[in-house]
Amino acid sequence: MRGYLKGYGHEVLLVRQVFTHKDGSKATLHLVCSDLSCDYNATTTTYKKRWAVEVFHKSLKSNASLAKSPTRTVRTQSNHVFMTICAAFKLECLSIKTQKNPFALCRKLLINASRAAYDQLQLLLAATA
């Protein structure tokens, strides 16, 4: 349906998408589109594409530590951004290969690294005892 949003002076297209989760619960997603020539399918398809970008951006920030850059110069900041994009891309490729969520893969890597570090600590403590 078409309508207006409070504080926005132009007419918009309002779309309601109802879907069912794997557990059987229902959810509703309300979408707004400023392109009045779009229909329901075009709006929901565009949303799916944009949502994939949001998920990748979240992966960049959370899994590849994009926001945690200790750099100060433009060159080192550029290098950090480039390397986080490379890391997130490799994680996505691994995610596709293993059919696992990138966030789950990252947590699994963290757990395995912590376990290996703990085992190494135990060996060092045993050698000094």
* Buried/exposed 25-38: b ≥16 CB within 10 Å, e otherwise: eeeeeebebeeeeb
- pLDDT tens for residues 41-82? 999 999 999 998 898 888 888 888 888 888 889 999 999 999
Sign of the torsion formed by the C-alpha atoms of 81, 52, 3 and 37? positive
Output the pLDDT for position 86: 92
Sign of the torsion formed by the C-alpha atoms of 39, 44, 45 and 46? positive
Output the pLDDT for position 123: 95
Output the pLDDT for position 120: 96
pLDDT for 126 beyond 90: yes
pLDDT for 19 beyond 90: no
Which helix (H) or strand (E) element contains residue 5?
Answer: strand 2-5
SS3 78: helix
pLDDT band at 128 (very low <50, low <70, confident <90, very high): confident
Strands 8-20 and 26-33: antiparallel
- pLDDT tens for residues 76-122? 999 999 999 999 899 989 999 999 988 899 899 999 999 999 999 99
